[in-house]
Amino acid sequence: MILTVTPNPAVDHTIQFDEPLTTDVVHRTDDAVFTAGGKGINVAKYTTALGVDATASGFLGGHFGQLIHDRLADEDVAADFVGIDSNTRLNTTVLATDGEYKLNHNGPHIDAADVDELVSTVEANDPDMLHIGGSLPPGMPLSAIDRLADAGDWETAIDTGGETLTELDADYFICKPNESELADATGRPVETTEEAIVAARELRECGFEYVLASLGGDGAVLVGPDGALSAPALDVDVADTVGAGDALLSGFLAGRERNMNDADALRLGVRTAAHIVSVSGTYASDLGQVLFSETPVEVVSED
């Protein structure tokens, strides 16, 4: 079982305009989507849709927290959250003809008692794989991530900011940086697949068995104990990039849960990401079809 922890979840509000955004103009649209968001929540949704037993956890509070709880129930995603008095945040993505705009709240304040309860919740679930993803809310120290990873005999996947990755002390199964996070973590340029592999190898030495780096339109690289693999992104019509990296990691983790080798798990991750970016919002509907997709994904060994 995979337990995902989203310390700072959000309602993802996605709205689309068929025009460029300009100042001093009231833009109106009927195209709006509200979904349960946050890296760990996305991973729980996607892995569940891929047929893997998963539960979402983290902190929830207020009306937005209830909306997330209800949306997860609607998608048959198991949940075991820690309730807090403050409101869960709202993150808005605006899709317009002149670009994509992201407006995110910082999130509610978390105190030491909340962290203690989250650790107890993780221990009670006793997962095979613990996934910790996203930003930390105000008041939650970075040491809490190591504490969650070390609280039991499980493997831990981590997806946080680039510089944060090098400040962790526990041993982790996998981390999932994007291009900029990989560059921030290593201080290396990451403009080509080759440079990404060099940087991922360096980051792996910080205590990660695997480094899975998402490279946007250039696909992904996976560096692990058996070497480095790369895979190009699939050619699809991109509607929304929110959740793309989470989908890549979800496919890989689901593949490993299904006893796939590294190459096949990476293929499943790329197919999952391609499906998610082809729809607006972070809905996992019809994601199960990815398991039966025969779309070829070329995985290249870089050693």
pLDDT one-digit tens code per residue, 171-180: 999 999 999 9
- Please give the pLDDT value at position 68: 96
CA distances to 7, 29, 141, 202 from 284, rounded to whole Å, are 21, 24, 31, 33
Residue 40 pLDDT > 80: yes
Question: What is the 8-class DSSP label of residue 3?
Answer: E
Quick one: residue 79, left, alpha or beta (phi over 0 = left, psi -120 to 50 = alpha)?
A: beta
Phi, then psi, of 294 in degrees rounded to 5: -105, 10
Domain of residue 237 covers 2-301
Answer whether 174's CB lies under 8 Å from 210's CB: yes
Distances from the Cα of 247 to the Cαs of 175, 268, 277, 290, in angstroms? 14, 10, 9, 11
Residue-level pLDDT at 284: 66
Question: pLDDT tens digits for 14-29?
Answer: 898 989 989 998 989 8
Total number of domains constituting the chain = 1
Is residue 264 part of the annotated active site? The answer reads no
Task: List all residues 6 or more positions away from 149 whose beta carbon is below 8 Å from its beta carbon.
Answer: 130, 132, 156, 158, 168, 170, 171, 172
CATH of the domain at 224: 3.40.1190.20
Contact criterion met (CB below 8 Å) for 274 and 245: no
Q: What's the pTM?
A: 0.90
Q: At residue 238, does pLDDT exceed 80?
A: no
Catalytic annotation, pick one of 246, 262, 264, 286: 246
